[in-house]
A and B are shown apart, each in its own frame.
Chain A
Amino acid sequence: MSDEILLKVTDLRARIDEKEILKGINLTVRPGEVHAIMGPNGSGKSTLSSVLAGNPAFTVTGGSVEFHGIDLLGLSPEDRSHEGLFLSFQYPVEIPGVSMVNFMRAAVNAKREYFNEPPLSAGDFLKLMRQKRAIVELDNKLASRSVNEGFSGGEKKRNEIFQMAVLEPRLAILDETDSGLDIDALRVVAGGVNQLKTSSNATIVITHYQRLLDYIRPDFVHVLYKGRIVRTGGPELALELEEKGYDWLKD
């Protein structure tokens, strides 16, 4: 842990259509930390991740987000990615007709272009894919398939972590990565996330359940309720929530 601040969210407010969903979020993440955000359905967990990633469906109505000193909200979603933000989707999108290989090549080379580096050679690219696939035991045959098309739930989530491994983000937000996973897949996915953890990057895990936190151990647990973080604690808070539910926090 360090004194350096990777992400500083200050009084963030956002709405979709006319409905305000985030009502003043404050959150500070330092390199090396793992934060868990928990909360009942509809509390704004996924909205927070969408807003941080730049989903145009949401409108930011107030507050600021600094990402290693940069005004994150001023960047396009692709530049947020280049600057080191990664969102693992709760529901990874199927893209018929776009192969995984072309998709990843476009992603890798766009990032390289952003940093004025030449595109990867075909050989180096394939080598990179091979290395990163191993982290989540992703089957090679998926590479020639269209992005997420016909993938099982577990394959989709592994594919998210595979992409995260390739892009090497400074901050990864895992939005309900545990949903739809059986225990074996959960172990593989969590193992992948843990392998990618370093002292200079950070992870925000959004989850309903304590279960995932047995595998990815958080330093901080936040409870999001009605668009605000109503409580912050250590890993023991997650256990308490598991036992007592959310009701005791709703007042």
Chain B
Amino acid sequence: MNNALTQYTDLYRENRQAIDNGSAAPLNALRPKALEALEAARRLPVKGDEGFEKTSVNDMFSLDFGVNISRVGIPADIASSFRCGVPNLSTLMGIVVNDRFTPTSTLVSNLPAGVSMCSLREAAEKHPQLIAGHYGSAADLSKPGTALNTLLAQDGVFIHISRGTHLEKALQLVSIMAAPTPMASFRRILIVADEDSAISVLKCDHTQVRSAQCLSSEVIEIIARRGARVEFYDIEESNSDTSRYCQVYVRQHEGAEVNICGSTLTNGVTRNEYNIDITGPHTRTRLSGMAIGAGTQHIDNCSDLRHAACHGHSEQTFKYVLDDESTGAFGGSIEVCHGARFVEAFQSNRNIIASAGAKMHTKPQLLIYNDDVKCSHGATTGQLDAKALFYMQTRGIPLAEARRMLMQAFMADVISAIDLEPLRDRLRHMVERRFDGCEAGCRECLSSKQDAN
């Protein structure tokens, strides 16, 4: 087996100075520990490793990708391709090209007091203590993907909302992969919501159409402090040349509410990991995911939710519709720790296999070290309801349209998990278009008044 890790650790050893120079102190401070963790791990996960039954991270990283450590500006055609606007949802928008954050012209002046959204490097200068205190605080370096990201990430996005602040508008990150040659980018996102604040963040991932093969490594840390409410929505619409490894780490303190929904509409190979650590009592957590696969798309979602405190309530819903030769995987584990009493934790994974060639692998797990809890999990994989299809046909609805309507309907509860109503409507429309066979594409949002530059 080709060990993909070596090319990255070698790159780091040879360019340590350049990497540090292009980054900021709190990020640089963690690199030695990350390297140590990688040396101990020796390799990235391969297919068949526990938790990686269907996805080889090693393969995703094995191509001879370039890494833009000297931080050459890579032009991305934002205006003509990717201006993602959600109608009626006037968001405060920032653009991230690979790992470089660019605010829209109106962002800075429109951000209310108590809210920051800027590049991590800028944040490290402006709020060194905040960054040093939180960067890497939730991410787990014992996971090789996270250690590798920590080793090489030079920049990313920082979002902070201060105590008691409620942001009414959603923050939006339009994230674009643009690469003239095969390229890997390592990006970090750090979201800190202070006590009793409320914030919603929408992120959409795109790949510039003319790009070469690209790999996105992303570690997202979300710190929801006491009584904070955080919504985080992630929509991937990349292309078949894109590999994405996204690891989300959530730390939920007392009374915090977190709602996360990830949607994969188009992609190449995707692995999303949601690690949710509930450390305070009286929390609410909602985690949903939707995957629509066609062609040879591969989508692997993995959730690891740990209730370490009493009176936590969590609900997980993951749904897949897989067509053609696409493959899906889901691994979900709920752990209720010793002493975490009165926890209610529910998980469901339901999948539709719409063709003979599509495959789904699902592995739900429950680990309960406690009495006085209410937990459930369930997984089903099946086909579209033949009776419903025939019923619709007898009313004159053509088979292909009936299938689309049923697939769309199947995703309804994931979409309804989103609290932002305009985003719900928008996503419903995007899913409809996706099932129509069009690229979901944000291209029609071009009329959006937002200025990308």
Chain A residues with a Cβ under 8 A of chain B: 53-57, 76-78, 80-82, 86-87, 89, 92-98, 102-103, 106-107, 110-111, 114, 146, 163, 167
Contact = CB atoms under 8 A, between A and B. Distances in A.
A149 to B, nearest CB: 10
A103 B392 contact: yes
Q: Which of B387, B396, B405, B412 has the most CB of A within 10 A?
A: B396
Contacts of A106: 392, 397, 401, 405
B396 A92 contact: no
15 contacts: A54-B390, A55-B390, A56-B390, A57-B386, A78-B396, A82-B396, A89-B391, A93-B387, A93-B388, A95-B385, A95-B388, A95-B406, A98-B406, A103-B395, A106-B392
B399 interface: yes
Given A95-B406, A97-B412, A106-B405, A54 B393 contact: yes
Given A95-B406, A95-B409, A76 B392 contact: no
B409 A81 contact: no
Interface string B369-398: 000000000000000011110111111111
Nearest to B393: A77
B264 interface: no
B141 to A, nearest CB: 42
B396 A98 contact: no
A134 to B, nearest CB: 20
B433 to A, nearest CB: 15
Interface residues of B, number: 22
A107 B398 CA distance: 9
Interface string B46-89: 00000000000000000000000000000000000000000000
Q: Which of A53, A57, A97 has the most CB of B within 10 A?
A: A97
Given A56-B390, A95-B388, A81 B406 contact: no
* Pairs of residues from A and B, 3 with the lowest C-beta to C-beta distance, nearest first: A97-B409, A77-B393, A81-B396
B393 A81 contact: yes
A9 to B, nearest CB: 18
A210 B403 CA distance: 39
Contacts of B399: 76, 78
Contacts of A87: 394
Contacts of B342: none
Nearest to A164: B395
Contacts of A93: 385, 387-388, 390-391
B406 A107 contact: no
A114 B397 CA distance: 11
Given A78-B397, A110-B396, 19 more contacts: A56-B390, A57-B386, A57-B390, A77-B390, A77-B393, A78-B393, A78-B394, A78-B398, A78-B399, A81-B395, A81-B396, A86-B394, A95-B388, A97-B406, A97-B413, A103-B395, A111-B396, A163-B395, A167-B396
B394 A54 contact: yes
A110 B401 contact: yes
Contacts of A114: 396
Contacts of A54: 390, 393-394
Contacts of A107: 392, 395-397
Interface in B390-434: 390-399, 401, 405-406, 408-410, 412-413
Given A95-B392, A96-B409, A97-B408, A110 B387 contact: no
A102 B299 CA distance: 30
B442 to A, nearest CB: 24
A53 B410 CA distance: 26
A185 B386 CA distance: 29
A110 B397 contact: yes
B394 A98 contact: no
B391 to A, nearest CB: 4
Contacts of B412: 96-97
A95 B385 CA distance: 9
Contacts of B385: 93, 95
B387 A98 contact: no
Contacts of B390: 53-57, 77, 93
Nearest to A114: B396
A95 B392 CA distance: 9
Given A102-B405, A106-B401, A110-B401, A167 B395 contact: yes
B252 to A, nearest CB: 30
A52 B405 CA distance: 25
